[in-house]
Each structure stands twice: as structure tokens, then as C-alpha cells.
A and B are shown apart, each in its own frame.
Chain A
Amino acid sequence: GAVVSQHPSWVICKSGTSVKIECRSLDFQATTMFWYRQFPKQSLMLMATSNEGSKATYEQGVEKDKFLINHASLTLSTLTVTSAHPEDSSFYICSARQGSSYEQYFGPGTRLTVT
């Protein structure tokens, strides 16, 4: 149980374009999903918390107009990187929390490369 998927697993895009990443909880309903970013040899940095049916809560320093998050259903959250630049190249990972549990389960991640 507690399986989270992400799509795509990797993507290459040109500078200035937008990229959408999907995160799905496959066998449970997730009222809360989280989006992290991880640069090489660094730990995970929380970007935002996504709650179903409401606006996402962004961490300090994360541009909400650049990283658009939509949590339209209990099993799907999307992250759209708008006007991507090479410095946005990173490993983006979502996680989901099952019910009131404090345990978070991570998706397999999406490796974004902006050229």
C-alpha cells in the first residue's frame, strides 16, 4: 500500500517554456501532498504543501507564480514550472500523506533539465 507515482520521470525542456509534473496517490486518498526539490548532493527542500481543494502553502523563498500547484482531487496534485530557466534544473519529488498519519510516502521523482 501507500504507492505514489509521478509523471514524467524525466523531462528536458527549452528555457522559457513551461513543464507540468503530475503526482498521484495510487492506492489511497491524500488530502495533503508535498512538493520537494533536491539539487545534487543536497538534501530535500520543501517547496510547498498542497491541500486538496485549497491553495497551496509555499515555503519562504519559493515563487508561487513560477511554481504553480494544483491539487484538484484526493489523488492528484500537479506542479507546473513556468518560464523555466536552467537554474530550475533539479530533481522534483512529491510525497503524500495518508489520512491523519504523519508518515509521508514519496513518488519516484521527476528529473527536470532546462536547456
Chain B
Amino acid sequence: QKEVEQNSGPLSVPEGAIASLNCTYSDRGSQSFFWYRQYSGKSPELIMSIYSNGDKEDGRFTAQLNKASQYVSLLIRDSQPSDSATYLCAVRTSYGKLTFGQGTILTVHP
């Protein structure tokens, strides 16, 4: 089992829709969770961090964490073509290492 798994995608949504990105992790002791956005040919950009169960909202982005289910998600409301990118879920495991999922490619079409 991979340490961090993301829904494989690619995910395609129309402009204005909600994009839902999912991630599961295997280390139950993990405490810190992050979503990064990576445009093609560029390095990752931190967009959300979440540490507690529940929802965390920042503008059009909402991160959701459920530690019991070992599940973290990212919702993007009112998706825009500029949101088209690869989204990386990252988990800081109990032994201190930041581990990335394989990424989900999101395409928002006009």
C-alpha cells in the first residue's frame, strides 16, 4: 500500500463547477496535511494546510480532514481555467517525513 494515494484522474470539470480531489494515507500517526498545486514545468505551490479534523476554508478552497478514515480532500468551488494544474496531496508522517501522493491532474474547461 502506498503511503499517500490520490484519486488517479485526470479530472475534468466545467468552468464554475466544484472540483473534488481526494487523498488517503496509511500512517495513522500522521498529523499534518497539505495540498500543493503544480503547474506544468513549475515547482509546487502550497495552497492549503490542515491539522485538525473538519473543514478549513480559504477563499474558493476547502480542505477536509477525517483522521479516523485517514482521508483528506480538497474542494475547489467556482473552478476557473487557471485552476487547471496537478494537485499534490502531502502528508507529514509520524516519523517526520513529508510524503507526496502521485498527484491528480485537474482540467477546467470553459
Q: Is the CB of B102 within 8 A of A105?
A: no
The answer, yes or no, to whether B60 is at the interface (CB within 8 Å) is no
Could you say which of A43, A46, A103, A107 contacts B88, with CB atoms under 8 Å apart?
A: A43
Known: A43-B88, A43-B103, A44-B88. A104 touches B98 (CB 8 A): yes
- Provide the bound-state CA to CA distance between A104 and B32, in Å: 11
The answer, yes or no, to whether A34 is at the interface (CB within 8 Å) is yes
- Provide the bound-state CA to CA distance between A109 and B29, in Å: 31
The answer, yes or no, to whether B44 is at the interface (CB within 8 Å) is yes
Total A-B contacts with CB atoms under 8 angstroms apart: 36
| Number of interface residues, chain A, beta carbon within 8 A | 14
17 further A-B contacts with Cβ under 8 Å, apart from A93-B44, A106-B36, are A34-B98, A42-B102, A43-B88, A43-B100, A43-B101, A44-B88, A44-B100, A46-B97, A93-B43, A102-B32, A102-B49, A102-B92, A103-B49, A104-B34, A104-B98, A105-B46, A106-B46
In the A-B complex, the 10 residue pairs with the smallest Cβ-Cβ separation, listed nearest first, are A109-B43, A102-B32, A106-B43, A43-B100, A43-B102, A93-B43, A44-B100, A106-B44, A108-B43, A102-B92
Q: List 24 A-B contacts (CB under 8 A).
A: A43-B88, A43-B101, A43-B102, A43-B103, A44-B88, A44-B100, A46-B97, A46-B98, A93-B44, A102-B49, A102-B92, A103-B46, A104-B34, A104-B46, A104-B98, A105-B46, A106-B36, A106-B43, A106-B46, A107-B43, A108-B42, A108-B43, A109-B42, A109-B43
Please report B residues at the A interface, Cβ cutoff 8 Å. 32, 34, 36, 42-46, 49, 88, 92, 97-103
